[in-house]
Amino acid sequence: MEKFEKKIWLSSPTMHGDELKWVTDAFDKNWITTAGENVNECEKLVAEYVGCKYAVALSCGTASLHLAVKLAGEKLYGQPKPNQGTLQGHKVFCSDMTFDATVNPVAYEDGEAVFIDTERDTWNMDPVALEKAFEIYPDVKLVVLVHLYGTPAKIDEIKAICDKHGALIVEDAAESFGATYKGKQTGTFGDYNAISFNGNKIITGSSGGMFLTDSQEDAEKVRKWSTQSREAAPWYQHEEIGYNYRISNIVAGIVRGQMPYLEEHIAQKKAIYMRYKEGLKGLPVTMNPYDENNSEPNFWLSCMLINEDAMCKQVRGEQDALYISEKGKTCPTEILETLAKYNAEGRPIWKPMHAQPIYRMNPFITANGNGRARSNAYIAGNGAHDVGNDIFRRGLCLPSDNKMTAEEQDRVIEIIRSCFE
Ligand SMILES: Cc1ncc(COP(=O)(O)O)c(C=O)c1O
């Protein structure tokens, strides 16, 4: 088989032309700063789309999550002492299988992340493990929940548990912008919500993110914190620590130009997911699952999980991986290397946070109890604990670029099939 002449990306930006129009408009009006029509318009468009009252555009999703977590910390524990974060010493329950930007803001605010294992139905936070975590740490008052790869988590179950224990939710909808749960947009379920416009997301501004809320007070606070916490004085007057987190009017112009294409991108991503589902039939694999009755993902990334009995031997160190090829079997490392050989980009599943060197000492709670107490033991199959590590070990993200043609995707599928021969 020939190599792809043009690289098949995991998920690259898809521009349409309107973006440049709004960037040029900013140049023409000389609004080359962190304010301007593009900033106001993209906030308005996103708030209208998701159905929330306020959207505050920031430099990235991480900044949005940071200020979301800081607001939650202030609400729960009051103003911190000087030089301390708002979560000083407090534990926070966090999704485990995610990108580290979901959980780092807890550390920025001096809190301690307690990682909650993943369930198999949506690859998100397991409500059973969350309930267990509240049994072990009944004083916890904050939960950070992600919707991985654009698939909504079990929101009703998680919200019910949080309500029962009086805990607030920070919702990380960075990857799931446009996805819905029972007809309602992700990014509107948490007490504090964040989305991202990073270059690989469903729509992009090259960078950028937004804090979403129905609370005018919270929106104003985030606006103020993100612009160095300036007080309303003629000079630079500061009563609180500030951040330079506001979005640029240039970046906002790109987001403004992308917004009309969000649904088109989702439809393309869904078609890619369905084509993989059909094309991989007969192989010992499953796709990343979602709750078909209650949710409509944005299908940002299509992923695949290899059945245990079709896994060849694979070991991963901190930076490298090795495998032993075996007839009829394969592993994520072999598939990713084979795709790369043909100039197509896949990626390993996001390595769970509890397994990251930086967070290895943090508590980790599984549906079966304390995951740390059962160290290294992940048992495949439905009774498994450490589900996250099991999905990391057997799963991979497939090329999911919305500019990939059906013919190109058929070839990607053929390459994957060849790994099982
Ligand atoms: C789940 C998740 N949370 C947060 C972020 C952070 O967003 P950003 O890159 O815009 O800071 C990302 C992506 O980058 C993400 O995938």
- Mind listing the pLDDT tens digit for each residue in 334-347? 999 999 999 999 99
Question: What spacing in Å lies between the alpha carbon of 329 and ligand 1's midpoint?
Answer: 33
Three-state secondary-structure class, residue 155: helix
Q: What is the dihedral of CA 363, 369, 374, 376, to 10 degrees?
A: -70
CA nearest ligand 1 atom 8, residue: 61
Pocket test for ligand 1, best of 67, 145, 147, 175 (most atoms within 8 A of CB): 175
pLDDT in tens, 76-103: 999 998 889 999 999 999 999 999 999 9
Both tokens of 19, joined, read 């973006």
pLDDT confidence of residue 373: 52
Question: What spacing in Å lies between the alpha carbon of 288 and ligand 1's midpoint?
Answer: 19
* CATH code for residues 262-419: 3.90.1150.10
**What is the Cα–Cα distance from 213 to 51, expressed in whole angstroms?**
10
The boundaries of every CATH 3.90.1150.10 domain in the chain are: 262-419
The boundaries of every CATH 3.40.640.10 domain in the chain are: 18-259
**Which has more confidence, 6 or 370?**
6
Pocket test for ligand 1, best of 170, 193, 196 (most atoms within 8 A of CB): 196
What are the phi and psi torsion angles at 297 (to 5°)?
Answer: -65, 170
Both tokens of 371, joined, read 């995951």
**What is the Cα–Cα distance from 16 to 6, expressed in whole angstroms?**
19
Question: What spacing in Å lies between the alpha carbon of 406 and ligand 1's midpoint?
Answer: 28
Question: What spacing in Å lies between the alpha carbon of 166 and ligand 1's midpoint?
Answer: 27
pLDDT confidence of residue 82: 83
Q: What is the dihedral of CA 385, 389, 394, 397, to 10 degrees?
A: 130
Question: What spacing in Å lies between the alpha carbon of 330 and ligand 1's midpoint?
Answer: 30
User: Is 369 a residue whose pLDDT tops 70?
Assistant: no
What are the phi and psi torsion angles at 142 (to 5°)?
Answer: -140, 135
The pocket around ligand 1, CB under 6 angstroms, is made up of: 60-62, 98-99, 101-102, 146, 172, 174-175, 196, 198, 209
pLDDT confidence of residue 229: 97
3-state helix, strand, coil in the chain (%, to 5): 40, 20, 40
User: What average pLDDT does this structure show over 320-337?
Assistant: 97
pLDDT in tens, 148-160: 999 999 999 999 9
**What are the C-alpha distances in Å from 167 to residues 132, 148, 173, 306?**
14, 21, 19, 36
User: Is 379 a residue whose pLDDT tops 60?
Assistant: no
Helix axis angle, 155-164 to 127-136, nearest 10° = 20
Ligand 1 atom index nearest CA of 60: 10
Cα end-to-end span (Å), the chain = 15
Question: What spacing in Å lies between the alpha carbon of 334 and ligand 1's midpoint?
Answer: 27
Confidence of residue 370 (pLDDT cuts 50, 70, 90): low
Question: What spacing in Å lies between the alpha carbon of 140 and ligand 1's midpoint?
Answer: 24
pLDDT confidence of residue 419: 98
Three-state secondary-structure class, residue 388: helix
List Cβ neighbours of 248 (8 Å cut-off, separation of 6 or more).
33, 34, 59
Q: With pLDDT > 70 as the criterion, what percentage of the chain qualifies? A: 96
**What are the C-alpha distances in Å from 320 to residues 108, 325, 414?**
29, 16, 26
User: Is 109 a residue whose pLDDT tops 80?
Assistant: yes
Question: What spacing in Å lies between the alpha carbon of 208 and ligand 1's midpoint?
Answer: 10
Question: What spacing in Å lies between the alpha carbon of 104 and ligand 1's midpoint?
Answer: 11
Pocket test for ligand 1, best of 145, 198, 350 (most atoms within 8 A of CB): 198
Confidence of residue 372 (pLDDT cuts 50, 70, 90): low
Question: What spacing in Å lies between the alpha carbon of 400 and ligand 1's midpoint?
Answer: 17
User: What average pLDDT does this structure show over 117-139?
Assistant: 96
CA nearest ligand 1 atom 12, residue: 174
Ligand 1 atom index nearest CA of 208: 10
Average pLDDT, the chain: 95
Question: What spacing in Å lies between the alpha carbon of 131 and ligand 1's midpoint?
Answer: 26
Which residue is associated with the tokens 């140049």?
27
Ligand 1 atom index nearest CA of 172: 3
Ligand 1 atom index nearest CA of 198: 10
Instruction: Confirm or reject CATH 3.40.640.10 for domain 18-259, answering yes or no.
Output: yes
Question: What spacing in Å lies between the alpha carbon of 331 and ligand 1's midpoint?
Answer: 27
Bridge-based pairing state of the strands 180-181 and 295-296: antiparallel
pLDDT in tens, 38-58: 999 999 999 999 999 999 999
Pocket test for ligand 1, best of 62, 98, 207 (most atoms within 8 A of CB): 62
Question: What spacing in Å lies between the alpha carbon of 195 and ligand 1's midpoint?
Answer: 8
**What is the Cα–Cα distance from 293 to 204, expressed in whole angstroms?**
29
